Amino acid sequence: MAEPVQKRARQECSQELCLEKTSLLNPQTIRRAVLNEVNEPIVFRGYLKGKWKCIDWEAKDWGKVLGDDDLVFRVGARVKEGDHLKSPQWETECMKGSMSYCEFLEWTKGQRTCTSQCGSQVNSGTHWAYFDYFYMKDLEQPEHLLGAIDWGTFGFTDRGLNDSTLWIGSTGANTPCHIDTYGCNLVAQVMGKKRWVLFPKSQSEYLSPTRVPYEESSIYSEVGFPRPDASSHPRLISTTPHSFPLMMKKE
């Protein structure tokens, strides 16, 4: 869920919302807009090229950074075509599995299975895996990322590794629909693709909002995204979601 968006945003990633590299804005202008002026989602395209070293990295480069560390992935069942979810795939209901980054890449290609903490074997054809909300400063060798990211591109020169989180997921990985009640979020897509689905804040009541224990900073929706069962939440049909696909293509 997101702040109210103007009518033009009903188009998928309209020209007004996508700021191309040909019209680069001053970083301080972006910072002021993000903190004080903008009340709708904006997609910045081409802003990281030549500024973030990791944009040019291949999977093997990330393998060097992450090494052989065991990464704890949240593992959930992929929703079959035609099936629908009556409720979200809550984190507490997902399995956990440990893999190194290179093992994860093999897993996504079907070259290995993953053993969950409950002992069951899962593969990428039936399940998704998500290593999410991990602070980069907690990596065993975070120094490998020094100079690889630069939030100063958007005017936030005071932000660095200590404030940045890493998200790595396979096809189908998702986060339950929610609204963060603090500040704002800047997200950089450095590899692969991800789709964001945002709702105007004024439509929150149609999304069956709820609180989750120990999650004081967020309000969640009880709707079962990414494939919701409309019969369980009939008011969902009154919403006007805005879809923003992000893709990082390697040249």
Structure token digits, residue 229? 């069962």
What is the overall mean pLDDT for the chain?
Answer: 87
- In which residue ranges of the chain is pLDDT below 70? 1-23, 249-251
Name the percent of the chain lying above pLDDT 90.
64
Q: Which of 181, 182, 234, 226 lies closest to 205 in space, CA to CA?
A: 234
CATH number at residue 167: 2.60.120.650
How many domains does the chain fold into? 1
29: helix, coil or strand?
Answer: helix
Distance CA 85, CA 228 (A): 5
d(C-alpha 151, C-alpha 236), whole Å: 36
Kindly report the pTM of this predicted structure: 0.86
Which pLDDT score is estimated for 150? 93
Residue range(s) defining the domain that contains residue 115: 7-248
What's the DSSP call for residue 176?
-
Question: What pLDDT is recorded for position 216?
Answer: 79
pLDDT tens per residue, range 27-50 = 999 999 999 988 888 889 888 988
| Residue 170 belongs to some domain of the structure | yes
- Angle made by CA atoms 25, 30, 31, in degrees to the nearest 5: 150
Could you tell me if residue 177 is inside a domain?
yes
Q: What is the pLDDT of residue 132?
A: 95
